[in-house]
């Protein structure tokens, strides 16, 4: 039972938090994760499904802005549809 109110802790209202992204600063040495609770010693996981998964996400490098602008200008020059001027 719980510390406050002596309530049973085997409840049917289990929940799932998904797709939560937490960015950890470079050089960080520790990540602390815990359930928000007033008294931890009365916690137990009767059906054994309390857990979390930590996945390292490698960021995709973005192209330099100058490279993108240059590519855009080359495309505009290549597909320029103006007619050449003729001499009279």
The answer to the question of residue 88 being in a domain is no
Q: Who contacts 2 (Cβ-Cβ below 8 Å, separation ≥6)?
A: 8, 9, 39, 42
**Side-chain half-sphere CA neighbours of 16 within 13 A:** 4
What domain count does the chain have?
1
CA distances from 69 to 60, 72, 73, 75, 78 (A): 19, 5, 6, 10, 14
**Side-chain half-sphere CA neighbours of 44 within 13 A:** 10
pTM of the model: 0.37
Range of the domain at 20: 1-82
Give per-residue pLDDT as tens, 29-68. Answer: 888 877 777 776 767 777 777 777 888 877 776 777 778 8
**Confidence class of residue 5 from pLDDT cuts 50, 70 and 90?**
confident
The answer to the question of residue 68 being in a domain is yes
d(CA 86, CA 88): 6
32's tokens = 């602390």
């Amino acid at each position: 039972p719980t510390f406050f109110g002596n309530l049973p802790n085997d409840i049917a209202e289990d929940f799932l938090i998904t797709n939560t992204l937490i960015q950890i600063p470079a050089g960080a040495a520790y990540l602390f994760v815990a359930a928000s609770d007033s008294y931890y010693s009365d916690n137990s996981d009767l059906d054994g499904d309390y857990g979390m998964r930590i996945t390292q996400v490698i960021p995709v490098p973005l192209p330099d802005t100058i490279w993108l602008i240059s590519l855009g200008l080359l495309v505009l020059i290549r597909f320029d549809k103006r007619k050449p001027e003729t001499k009279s």
